[in-house]
Each structure stands twice: as C-alpha cells, then as structure tokens.
C-alpha cells in the first residue's frame, strides 16, 4: 500500500500541558542543572509558590509566582507557560519571566566578594590574637 502526500498526518503544533510538576518545570527552564537538585531544593523548603513551601510534586500553572532560594540568592520567577521538556537557554525565556530585583543580584555580588572565615566546629571562641588576625583579614 502506497501513501500519497495527502495521507500524511498534518504536523501538530507543539502542545504544552496545562500544568506540570514543579521539579520538572524548574529543571526544564534551567533554574537547576538536574531534576534531582530541583526536587531536593523543594524538599528542603527552598522553593515556595504563593508564599507557601512547595513539594516537588506540586503542579505549576501559568501565572504562578515561584520563589527559589539558591545559594545565597533569592530569585523570583513567573510561570508564563508550563513546560515538561528541557529546552535551550534562549528558548526557556518564552516559558519563564525572571522578576528577581536587581538588589538581590547586588547583595549576592557583595557577599561573593567578602572573604569567608572558617573555624572548625568545636574549636571554641577565637583568642585575642586570632580575633585580630580575623579582623585584619575581613577588613581588607
């Protein structure tokens, strides 16, 4: 049996689901590198939707506001369209709107430039000499 060009099915437009799992969406729009990291952040309470902590299985819909605490940066995203497949970085902009205020990026930049003083747990309080060294180190 031969097929004529009119027998072939018409190409379907790319259909997007009405809702999708939160961890899958965070991974698809490239907020997290892996879906496991996205699910872990949800379980630890670092992801909220409408002010409430969200589980990885929570469904996200268009116009939801998702707040993600990643490292020391609190990012705010608006869901433009649910997406269940990972797309390129340029294509991801069609599905998410980053509403993170510029002050958050500035705060993260300042924190990154500040040196981190590390004291092992159980080491007790620093001595006066150690305190002076730490002060000199953090001031410069």
Please report how many Cα atoms fall inside a 13 Å half-sphere around the Cα of residue 99, on the Cβ side.
Answer: 12
pLDDT, one tens digit per residue, over 51-90 is 999 999 999 999 999 999 998 889 999 999 998 899 999 9
- Please say whether the beta carbons of 82 and 25 come within 8 A: yes
Q: Domains of the chain: which residue ranges?
A: 20-100
Q: What is the CATH number of domain 20-100?
A: 3.10.290.10
What pLDDT shows up at residue 11?
45
Please report how many Cα atoms fall inside a 13 Å half-sphere around the Cα of residue 57, on the Cβ side.
Answer: 0
Burial pattern 113-136, b for ≥16 Cβ within 10 A else e, equals eeeeeeeeeeeeeeeeeeeeeeee
Q: Model's pTM, two decimal places?
A: 0.70
């Amino acid at each position: 049996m031969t097929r004529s060009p009119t027998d072939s099915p018409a190409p379907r437009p790319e259909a997007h689901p009405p809702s999708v799992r939160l961890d899958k969406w965070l991974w698809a729009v490239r907020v997290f590198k892996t879906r496991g990291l996205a699910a872990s952040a949800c379980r630890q309470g670092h992801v909220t939707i409408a002010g409430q902590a969200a589980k990885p299985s929570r469904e996200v819909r268009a116009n939801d506001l998702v707040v993600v605490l990643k490292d020391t940066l609190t990012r705010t995203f608006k869901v433009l369209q649910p997406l269940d497949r990972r797309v390129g970085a340029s294509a991801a902009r069609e599905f998410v709107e980053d509403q993170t205020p510029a002050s958050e990026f500035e705060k993260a930049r300042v924190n990154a430039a500040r040196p981190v003083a590390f004291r092992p747990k159980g080491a007790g309080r620093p001595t006066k000499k150690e305190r002076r060294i730490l002060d000199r180190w953090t001031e410069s």
